[in-house]
A and B are shown apart, each in its own frame.
Chain A
Amino acid sequence: MTKLRFHIRFPEEKIPEPVIYQIGREYQVVTSIRRADVRETTGWMDVEFSGETEEIERAIAGLREKGVLVDPIELNVVE
């Protein structure tokens, strides 16, 4: 079991969609939301995904396909 932390962002058009619910249904990952700020025009969440590493990788690819932006919890580490 792996636990990985991410910062995910929702573009305005994705805010009404139940993305976290969908990811939990489509992939074998458990999502723990630690902090979040979702508003009318933008939204972000700091989350932890638990599951097999490959399944988390697939879930991240799935999130990106849905138009959600996924970054490391540290945001940009390349300086």
Chain B
Amino acid sequence: MAKMKALICRECGKEYPTEALHVCELCFGPLEVKYNYDEIREAMSRASIEAGPKSLWRYKELLPIEGGPTIGLHAGMTPLVHAKNLGAFLGLDELYIKNDCVNQPTLSFKDRVVAVALTRARELGYETAACASTGNLANSVAAHAAQAGMQCYVFIPGDLEAAKVLGNLIYRPKVVEIEGNYDDVNRLCSEIAGERRWAFVNVNIRPYYAEGSKTLAFEVVEQLGWRAPDQVVVPMASGSLLTKIWKGLNEFQKIGLLKDVSTKVNGAQAEGCSPIATAYKDGRDFFKPVKPNTIAKSLAIGNPADGYYALKTVAESQGAMDAVTDDEVIEGIKLLAQTEGIFAETAGGVTIGTLRKLVKQGAIKKHDVTVAYITGNGLKTQEAVVDSVGRPFRIPPSLVKFEQTFGQQGAA
């Protein structure tokens, strides 16, 4: 029997074949993958995982592919760093950083979801990959498509910064700049996804794509010595990542790799785009879409597809949510860099800023085993910190001047 049973509507439960479908024909609810856990339990053990490849594909039994992996073979198994310095600063004994800044090949967690999406897309017979993105997702789709020899279309808003456009062009996809505001771009991309027989990774392939995020839960459990953390702090854009980390933890319990899961799942957003965190604070079970205005552009999704499910997940796990200002984002980036030597993009600043707040509020306690998810590399968003990191010391080529500046012991 196949390990993937069906696609299932998250709202009405109607089941569909495991094809390139993403919306329930009956109620228009989103579809997700339903697995045959009895079969997976037989096929998967701690030993079999540990003997697997040093990539996310060591968990392939719980990923939505039928054959072996073919695209994105090096994604995943990023370091879990025991952040002793940052932990000491925040008053946490067991703080860990899941460092997807060094994910392969494009230095963000999107390499996980794209590896899974395009492997599945190939199985379904697609020869063209596509996405609509302003940053990390476009980089990852373009890079993976180049490696896999797939045609690639990347749709971007017409006013995107030159550096970000270059980051896509280098892989030679067809980059399509769309004139108009964000809503126009968004709607056109949805319509193109419906018209063309392309693997639009986060539209018609979304049920498979989103499953790749579960590996951030699987890896953390394995790297912690087969135990679930007490607390996780997860940045939220669409909200999908947070819900899939929770799904991953529960799947490990279902197939017997974990005894108990009592992890509190906490969500982090930037105040300039915090529809989900605001709903949580207001005690609402629905969010109100917003127009994003934050430096944390990789999280700037004003009408998040999984916002409702993220609220549900946090409630179910008894976690919390909070949001931070852009200044706090920058402080978070600097704090992580200066304590742990990890340069995160703005989403990482959101995570660290929110972690600080949650510790201060007492939601995360000193002895909790806590994992903060850092999802992208700071070299991609240097403009966010360029004015807040100081300047180099400038001296003439003279030993005397050097010693005048730094003193005999080299301290300035």
In the complex, what residues of B have CB within 8 A of residue A1's CB?
none
The size class of the interface chain B forms with chain A is 35 or more
In the complex, what residues of B have CB within 8 A of residue A42's CB?
286, 288
Please judge, given known A-B contacts A35-B28, A78-B133, whether A72 and B286 are in contact too, CB under 8 Å.
no
A37 touches B (CB below 8 Å): yes
Q: Are B301 and A79 in contact (CB under 8 A)?
A: yes
In the complex, what residues of A have CB within 8 A of residue B237's CB?
79
Q: Are B28 and A75 in contact (CB under 8 A)?
A: no
Task: Report A1-59 residues with CB < 8 Å from chain B CB.
Answer: 4-5, 9, 34-35, 37, 42, 46, 48
Count of residues in A whose CB is under 8 Å from the partner chain:
20
B264 to chain A, nearest CB (A): 26
Please measure, in the bound complex, the distance between the C-alpha atom of A30 and the C-alpha atom of B134, giving whole angstroms: 35
Q: Are A74 and B23 in contact (CB under 8 A)?
A: yes
Q: Name the one of A4, A35, A77 contacting B11, with C-beta atoms under 8 angstroms.
A: A35
Please judge, given known A-B contacts A37-B286, A76-B302, A79-B131, whether A71 and B183 are in contact too, CB under 8 Å.
yes
A68 touches B (CB below 8 Å): no
In the complex, what residues of A have CB within 8 A of residue B182's CB?
78
Q: Mask for A63-74, Cβ within 8 A of B = 1, else 0? A: 000000111111
Please measure, in the bound complex, the distance between the C-alpha atom of A57 and the C-alpha atom of B210, giving whole angstroms: 31
Chain A residue nearest in CB terms to B113: A79
Q: Are A74 and B11 in contact (CB under 8 A)?
A: no
Q: Are A34 and B28 in contact (CB under 8 A)?
A: yes
In the complex, what residues of B have CB within 8 A of residue A76's CB?
186, 238, 301-305
In the complex, what residues of B have CB within 8 A of residue A4's CB?
191
In the complex, what residues of A have CB within 8 A of residue B305's CB?
74-77
Q: Are B185 and A5 in contact (CB under 8 A)?
A: no
B303 to chain A, nearest CB (A): 5
Most buried by A among B132, B183, B185: B183
Please measure, in the bound complex, the distance between the C-alpha atom of A35 and the C-alpha atom of B136, giving whole angstroms: 33
Q: Are A79 and B137 in contact (CB under 8 A)?
A: yes
Please measure, in the bound complex, the distance between the C-alpha atom of A71 and the C-alpha atom of B200, giving whole angstroms: 18
B391 touches A (CB below 8 Å): no
B286 to chain A, nearest CB (A): 7
B176 touches A (CB below 8 Å): no
20 contacts between A and B (CB under 8 A): A5-B23, A5-B28, A9-B289, A35-B29, A71-B289, A73-B28, A74-B22, A74-B190, A74-B305, A75-B289, A75-B303, A75-B304, A76-B238, A76-B301, A77-B132, A77-B186, A77-B190, A77-B305, A79-B133, A79-B237
